[in-house]
Amino acid sequence: MTQHNTSSQDLRPKNYIGSTLLFIGIFFTATIVGALILLGLVTTFKVRWKIGYIWCAVVGWMAKVFCHLTFEVEGLEHLNAEKPTIFLSNHQSAWETLALRYILPPHSVVIKRELLYFPIWGWSLLALKSIVINRKNQRSSLKSLLTQGTRYLNEGLSVLIFPEGTRAGVRDVLKFNIGGAMLAHKSGFPVTPVAHNAGDYWPRYSFFKYPGVIKVKIGPMIETQGRKAADINAEAEAWIRQAMKEMD
């Protein structure tokens, strides 16, 4: 894969038209879809999830048409929709917050409280059984994660966590917070690591999107019963770091 430097000055040609069309498309469709999801509160979670799933597929289509940006997934054989798991993924951009809803089986996502400040779109995240945390209060956030995460897992729903806590630079993997591993330790459900290089093409803090193929790797389930949270965390982080090196 061609090396790109997105942490400093990016010398690639700017895709003004495509990036603008994608931004407009996401903004307007997000408002419509958010309203549909909220209306879906009178139905089932399955219906609401399907609405979000279709929207994420539409965003992927727009990224392909407007920005010539696609993705490929390795390790789909490790997914089992009938067996809830705790997905731990690296975090580089907004891309994975959308695409993983399309790629992975139905799941609850851990989100920061500030996202709820966005009318309609932010509120719809609650309708999708998101786990809301306050990053300024770690004790309260951990309690919410353990309580709600365990409940959703027992209901048959997987949980997606970005253990770095914030978006990292291209090819960087920040130290993992232990919350996801603690959820695995307390609940006994397995962990499934996920790695990707979305930041190469959909950089953090950048309006521009670049053509290419984002790579996503899904690892085998990590069994957690009878293991310490620190050991679970270390194994998941090591797998993701190695997967990132292989992508380079």
Angle between the N-to-C axes of helices 179-187 and 229-247, in degrees from 0 to 180, rounded to the nearest 10? 130
Residue 9 confidence (pLDDT):
64
Contacts 24+ apart (CB under 8 A), 131-136: 131/159, 135/165
Task: State the Cα–Cα distance between residues 144 and 146, nearest whole angstrom.
Answer: 6
- Residue 180 has which token pair? 């996801």
Residue 6 confidence (pLDDT):
44
Domain boundaries, the chain: 16-247
Q: Are 87 and 149 in contact (CB under 8 A)?
A: no
pLDDT tens, N- to C-terminus, the chain (248 residues): 444 444 456 778 999 999 999 999 999 999 999 999 999 999 999 999 999 999 999 999 999 999 999 999 999 999 999 999 999 999 999 999 999 999 999 999 999 999 999 899 999 999 999 999 998 888 899 999 999 999 999 999 999 999 998 888 887 888 999 999 999 999 999 999 999 999 999 999 899 999 999 999 999 999 999 999 999 999 999 999 999 999 87
Q: Are 127 and 48 in contact (CB under 8 A)?
A: yes
Task: State the Cα–Cα distance between residues 77 and 70, nearest whole angstrom.
Answer: 20
Q: Which of 159, 151, 163, 152 is nearest to 229 (CA)?
A: 163
Task: State the Cα–Cα distance between residues 131 and 87, nearest whole angstrom.
Answer: 14
Residue 196 confidence (pLDDT):
97
16-247 — its CATH code? Answer: 3.40.1130
pTM, to two decimals: 0.92
Q: What is the dihedral of CA 7, 11, 17, 22, to 10 degrees?
A: -20
Tokens 């806590």, residue? 165
